[in-house]
Structure 1
């Protein structure tokens, strides 16, 4: 909201308050009288947005001018915004330009910006003006605090001026916020006291964590000193704020009375005799620790995308969200973020040992003493390239080849990996014959997945040789449109020719699902045909690896076709996993996600797996005819 104010006089003619010549706090989100210039031409500028939200949609900034150096991908801004004309023709003596600046509460807060003042609103005149200010914002504690800044513009007294803010010489940080732009003469008296608003005096049941102190704006105040303590006259300076609210960053003691006061101040001095309010905290009931933390401690997981999951605490208060910590040492975990969900994906995980922890929180505080799980990421795809990454996972849910049994997996993207290793699942094909491959996937709506298949027929450890790629060229695409990935209606089948020169024995097959338009671009076709990489952004789909066994012609017969449907249930399971039909099953083996065999059992309709840790397992039914039926099962 813009204000153009006149001097304030007492009856005796003395000025007791500053004259404000211009003020804009942007609360009305209207900058129609400002001039915006997108000098870098990227289509983004100041005031495209006025608030930056967090991952839960909550504002992280006041309503203010916003310019960004990152938005999904890196930006290199050269954004200008120039004020309307500011009339200083009546001004004499000292005049100052004041504003507040804030950036992201992370290490990527080093936004560079400049402020220019001139009697002309052209960029050339503003750049040439001797009155300017430049800084690279850097909160040393990476808390994203808002700071007040002042520039002396007294040399322009008696003239009309323009003020420009320029965001430039920076890339790949996040955002900069400019607020409360004011041109005024200096205060001549200290400000009066403010009115405390909340918590109300003598309030009870105040949260021990995240309590917010609020007060009214005080005339003539530049900032406010906030005092908090457990004595009736608090003397401990908690913080200095430029706004009219402050969120406590420390957890208060449970069921304790606190006293607080707010003292306005300016360049002349501080208000005196200000009131003190009290409040009493509630009896804290923070949540207990989460349950079923997965992957289990000591587990091996695949490199690439590692899904973490847990269940809500069953002790303490109700959790409202969860802080997720990750690192290579149990003593130096880094907070990755906060989520209201009970599952997250950790992406771009390379081979090595990792620790993670999930801490439930609510308004009363955070769970304490919770487990830290240690997992080891291994690359199950070696010696082949991978794992592939996708910006959005749209799972493959069904893969089968003629004369074999299908591999089925969940069509839900929740908890799915971008690249899954079903190395223990084997498909048999005959050398020099034409077989069929069937695939289904969750296309994420009315979109098209392109399936490409890669087989290392000469067993040289790559998919780079002639004849090892399928369905990668126009006219021979293998597609699926608008499939949920569930049931049989979305299963698509296409012929696949096994070379007569294919080396007998076991080798690797990779099946890749990749979203592209109905008429794919040349870039999309190149991505469909690439078995090793995807673009960093806009990659939708999933990849899966299998084992192919090449056998001599005539080895497979009609009798090899799976005539019965076998399932495992319940899934997820607690201790006992049931098999619907064990007829023809020779033995049962259990592998963890890295492919390591952790248990072997005799065939039975009930498998007692109570001694396994919680996590994802591959259940292999080794049939009397030599085939293997493979299922994914999750132990809670």
Structure 2
């Protein structure tokens, strides 16, 4: 075997040139001009070009003689045939014979700047044999640019001396011809020498913090000098700065090679120098890569030939070798390095390998061999047994198998040793083959000894250690090998590999566990290959710490192949080991049984907060989980109700359902307990199913008990607690289960789960407020089962703090499933709870909360006056109202006709009823963007997408304009919500729409009439849609200066702050978007109930009535119980309304006295209706 390094044609290395520096003066030359700049553009400014030159004398460079070279516009000359247009002459891999760089980088020259232009020229100075070839770059820029307004130039030369072969670079000072404000600077300007390859270099280095003239030797072929045309550090070369490289007088050998490598020796050979050194050669070798210097003592001296044998080397060791020429006692060449080689490995009779001293990457330890093929093998830091490394073999199929060959063992077929190692696979189970090869470089010579099923994915598993018995029949030249066959895509890891003597007492194998109960389990195994005289021993514990040789077993002298374990603790993980006992003093190693959990005892109650369960894809002890498809379930630390943990269950579709199965409850069908828990969803509303399973491994055994709609996204929401009543009809073997069915993509979190005694009095369900006026509202609910004997009780408040058992209700003794509450404050949000009163002392828990908002307190419409007209006549109707109110007139369809104290109808032919109201405030005020911009696009984002706004004063969002998109004009629906900062839905409406193509959008005005109360961080959003493909919005691409004009302010009423596409409460602002909802119409108006005013058309056209209603009076006013009417002729009825317009009482055919003693104190409106259609409204006050 021959290992050769270097090139045989080399007689020196430029690294041996001696550098020095001088300060002189710069003298420009004339000579032959090779090229002129003809413009300040790229190509014609002497950019990336070169010129061949033939010198009149021989110049020796790097041990070779040259008369020809190439002069590059990039500041260097090169020898040989390679290209000279590159910009990195020293570090480049260009195949020229060598290069000398004075300013090696991308540069160019100038043309006609203040009368100056640049050129490249050369000349020869002096007479033979002491001539100097001078190569000059005149008026060059220090870095490439074509600027004519900021122009800095300098000049430099390379000088080659005949006979002495000394190399010099000389620099002129530079200056700005024009400008001076633009800095030209750089790092890595390559200055120095390069040999035949870029590994042979002698260059200079300055950092940007050092002055240019204070350079140091380069440390890499890419080292360079920094410069700056403005600042003095690093600055530019001083005028006359001269770098000098003097060639060595003693040249080193080349073509060094190593051959005949054995376990303890190797032969070196080299090509002698161009001039044979008088004192021969020195050889130095070491096991460390520290280069020798002038004071290093060689291992071999005065070697007169061109070879040297190295002996006494250590097996399987890396060696580094250097050789130098010794021309005299005081003149030696530089040390020439031979890259390292490894001595051969000696056969071993014992081995322990943990891979920790081997570098990571696609390698194996010294003396091992890798046959990776197209598979993958590496030393990796991924979860080793003993840090930091282990070995990784990956094969994805049988066509890219991997084989790792172990070192040679001198006792491979002695039958006395075995292979023992720790192993694991990425996915279990997988099959790994153990065998041998007879040629460590030929995978086809692999012979199988044994296949192992690797069932563990972590080294900490009890079954992670594997042993391989090597028969004595294998060839003496065999080398053990581990093969990943790739029958199934397999990632194999192994560590802590031993070649060691086989124990005299062999352990049993294939241990199993079965018949697990809450207190016992059966362990079985396959007999040891050497029947133990003293039977087997069993050790078990609740910790995973493996026993040692001195550990006391729980069971001894077990003569059979099984052992029952009893007295175990329920719901506990046990770890078990078995060993053979061959004599009183000879035991096998312990063999681990796969750990197991004893069964759980049934319980009668439970509280689970998940805080003692580790995070990850697990459930607490005694729980089970059924996860289908891509569903997921974990113990998570994300925003629990009680820190640190809660359960997360995610299902994106019905194919990815997740079922959480609770522990066994012995009283599951006793009818005495219920399930109570805290729950939330990441986006509401979502439906979660509660039921039971009869098989904890079969999702199809789930039986639904009830479905809960969850709208809360935080546990702090007042409706975050859920209770489930379990009927006594469920099977005795049932296990309660919580199912995320994925009917809509749902992220469910639950915490603080109770199985507890159910109350004897159950609360009602589905509390629903309706008909909220300014001071009243109706509350209804679904009846509790059973119906409570003492009816229901209601508690309401403007504070959302839930009531407790001790809270005093506002209303009690309610019979039926609804009631009206009164005495409320106008324009206020109320929270209401209902509970059952089963007896005077047995009350249910309070129901989930419901909320409603009362309307404003409108002004009163005091009186109305109709009119009687002839056919085709116009009627003038009138009304009076509280001071400051505006009277508004409507037709029967609700269209506003006019405002003011009177209204004149058009010509009438039939009797017509109009309606009057009293109002304060403004109506249909515009807010938001009126319309979409120049480049709208269709958006499909829902749930989190929308506009964020604040409300300053009570108001009503009457309508918004949206643009539903459908290329096929499909009809559909859009659910529009207003949610608060906690994600609670405050207002919602399903709007029927018809889409239109995005290119020809059609506006749809959605009438919402959403009541808005003062608050911040509200969001209006499309929760979902059907039929259409999206809604039009303004994208960021067309946002003027990145903002669509936010905030949109309706002074004193509301402010639209931004768009957002993130969840509440974060609502990350995006002012460069405008989502969906245009041309808001907002009303701050508070309006009374409508009262009818009749315009009567009298066909007989009577001129007078039987009574003049304007003369009718009521008294006393204020009154106590009775009101007197001065004239009741023609009076058909009297209606009594409160000031909000709510009808209190109707009196048909009244007489002169009406009795109103049942009314509460306050103001009322009495409307007198006459038989001829006229009406009169009078304000009355009850004392």
Does the alignment reach a TM-score above 0.5?
no
TM-score between both structures, scaled by the size of structure 1: 0.36
